[in-house]
Amino acid sequence: MKAYSFLFFIINVVLFSTVISAKSFDPNDIEWLDIAHWNETDFSKLQKRSYENQVKNVNFYRGVDVSSIISLENSGIRFYNSNGQQQDLFEILANVGVNCIRVRIWNTPKTTSGKIYGGGNNDLEVAKTIGSRAAKYGLPLFVDFHYSDFWADPGKQSIPKDWKNFDLDKRVFEIYKFTKGCLEWLLENGSLISMVQIGNETTCFMCGDKNMNNVMKMMSNGAKAVRDINRNILIALHFTNPNKSDTMLWYASQLASGRVDYDVFATSYYPYWHGTLDNLKWTLNEVANRYNKKVLIAEYSYPYTNAAKTSDGNNYGSVYQGLKDTNFRYPISVDGQEQCIKDIYSTMKSTKNGIGAFYWEPAWIAPQARNDAERKQIWEQYGSGWATTAAAEYDSSANRLQTGGTSWDNQAVFDQNGKALKSIWALGEKAPQINQELKKKNI
């Protein structure tokens, strides 16, 4: 009898091993508790969860992307509300009426020896910290998957180091696994989630691949991972250069013909690069009318000053009056920044199926330092600038002359000392709150 029992045990082990290694293996059968510790995943935990209490619907997004916040705080930066009182950044944002936090996720933003790439060092653990802190103030996440180890944008969509030898089928599977695993890890650790973005500024280019059919396969599998977590989480696909209306509409038509499952057609819109709001509205209206998709501005910003002196001495990435190929449609001032924000929200409210906009990195200011050399050392140590020198091994644009620097300091809604500008109130719908004690002193 013992011999038969032992034989039965061996047969079951072989069958189980075959199932989990076969191509027909269905990842839906596994709860990916910790994507970073695959070998420690509890395969016996097969129940599916809906996370209904952690999926938060938002009718109109008045959001911000503050992905750099942890590196900024590690660099000694603190933030102050309109009354000059130091507060947690997420509390300040919630108090002005911001209702969602966008956070980027890179696969492995560091070298094999552990040296950070910078730009906020936005791996899953950083996203987890941001998510749990945002949830404290009732703010859900808009999770932005780059499917890269560092910045993904129209100019580059570098494949993650760990995926560089994968063929398309393997990449498609890894995108599913990574997406689902990250979302479950965020939810398991207390994050609220409202929307998920599959790829960042994917202008026919994603995860190292420029073939649109391949890109759509990867998008579809990322979308499937989100649906398998909870069908109430919105799925966004993100493009850019909306001034090129024909190209934007071509993307939308390709997604329709490829039957890609998604809810939100999103675009970046930087007013100094991307044309008029009237053109943007026309383009997004066309997408909404033709394909019945929600439409969204996933990124926007505007400068309040020309002074970007706390970047890296080269003004890398900064925008200012006189910069080539820019057209500033508002005064470069706090008032101009405020009006830009108001106009963007007004445009999206009047656009068919418009669901809002997200201000990109409104708190990315420079650390205080005695001199530029000390400031650059802080950027290098904590990754709170555009890139560290270590990033050059992965991203060739992060060369010696372009590392460090905030690149966005003059487009923040906080001054260089971390105090909120009055334009911050335009991000939400709440009226500015004046400290009555301070008001009495000024009477």
151 contacts 202 by C-beta, under 8 angstroms: no
CA 258 – CA 129 distance, rounded (Å): 36
User: Catalytic residue numbers?
Assistant: 201, 299
For 27, the 3-state DSSP assignment is helix
Backbone conformation region of residue 43, classed left if phi is above 0, alpha if psi is from -120 to 50, else beta: alpha
- Asked whether the beta carbons of 204 and 247 are under 8 A apart, the reply is no
First to last CA, the chain: 94
The Cα 60–Cα 67 span in angstroms is 21
Cα 228 to Cα 144, 189, 321, 436, distances in angstroms: 17, 18, 47, 50
Residue 157: exposure state from Cβ atoms within 10 A (0-12, 13-18, ≥19): buried
Nearest alpha carbon to residue 176 among 379, 28, 364:
28
CB 182 within 8 A of CB 123: no
d(CA 3, CA 248): 67
**Backbone phi and psi for residue 86, each to the nearest 5 degrees, phi listed first:** -70, 135
R_g of the chain, CA atoms, integer Å: 23
CA–chain centroid gap for 308, Å, is 23
Q: For CA atoms 260, 212, 225, 101, give the dihedral sign.
A: negative
Distances (CA, A) of 360 to 62, 102, 242, 301, 409: 12, 9, 17, 6, 11
